[in-house]
Amino acid sequence: MTFNNYEKGNKKYYEEIMYISSNYYIFKKRPKTKTHSLVKVFLLYIILFSLIFLSCLFIPNLFVISAIALTILIIYIYLLIETKYKLREFIKHNDSLITIDETGIENKEENKTVSKLYWNAIEYIIVNKYSISILPKNFAHFAIFIEISSKKEVLEALKKYNQTNLLIDNSNKYK
């Protein structure tokens, strides 16, 4: 089964897969984890450490803690800027072609890369709010992400190739 992965320009999709990619270990341990926007998480940390820094400035005994909070604040500001840049670059990507067959799942980008995960190398297929994440068992393989509009095709293919045991559907957490 082959279908297009309509991801071009989908900001929410890319925010979600960036969160999953940066928290890969959490999803490997607890695949039913709810996803968030990575940008919003960084903004929350920036606000938190700004408040800690400002509150520690008024108490002279806590100068060391304010210095640590300022350092962490600067790190999170840098991470936010880097994330925003990556998000702008990802949005420029073209749509890809997904092929699901008896051997596994393949993602082809036009004139670029091809990545394939064989069924025995897949640990979880997680359905989230904006994406479907195919996570490999080990780190020698790349994760494959599919836009949620292709959920019907993915579910049909999983049933066809008897791989529904890999599926974890978190989409009901976002209603």
Q: What is the pLDDT of residues 100-147, one digit of tens each?
A: 888 888 888 776 767 888 888 888 888 888 888 888 888 777 888 888
Longest Cα pair distance anywhere in the chain, in angstroms? 67
Mean pLDDT of 168-173: 80
Q: Which residues pair with 144 in a beta bridge?
A: 134
Whether domain 2-6+95-174 has CATH 3.40.228.10: the reply is no
Instruction: Please give the residue that has the higher pLDDT: either 80 or 8.
Output: 80
Instruction: Please give the residue that has the higher pLDDT: either 15 or 89.
Output: 15
51-73 pLDDT per residue, tens: 888 887 777 777 778 888 888 88
Q: List, in order, residues 6 or more apart from 101 with CB less than 8 Å away.
A: 1, 161
pLDDT of residue 9: 67
pLDDT for residue 164 is more than 80: yes
Look at the chain and count its residues.
Answer: 175
In the chain, what are the domain boundaries?
2-6+95-174
| Sheet containing strand 131-136, strands side by side | 144-147, 131-136, 122-127, 167-169
Q: List, in order, residues 6 or more apart from 160 with CB less than 8 Å away.
A: 1
Residue matched to tokens 């670029």? 112
Residues above pLDDT 70, as percent of the chain: 90
B/e letters for 75-107, b = 16+ CB within 10 Å, e = fewer, are ebbebbeebeeebeebeeeeebebbbeeebbbb
22-42 pLDDT per residue, tens: 888 888 888 888 887 778 888
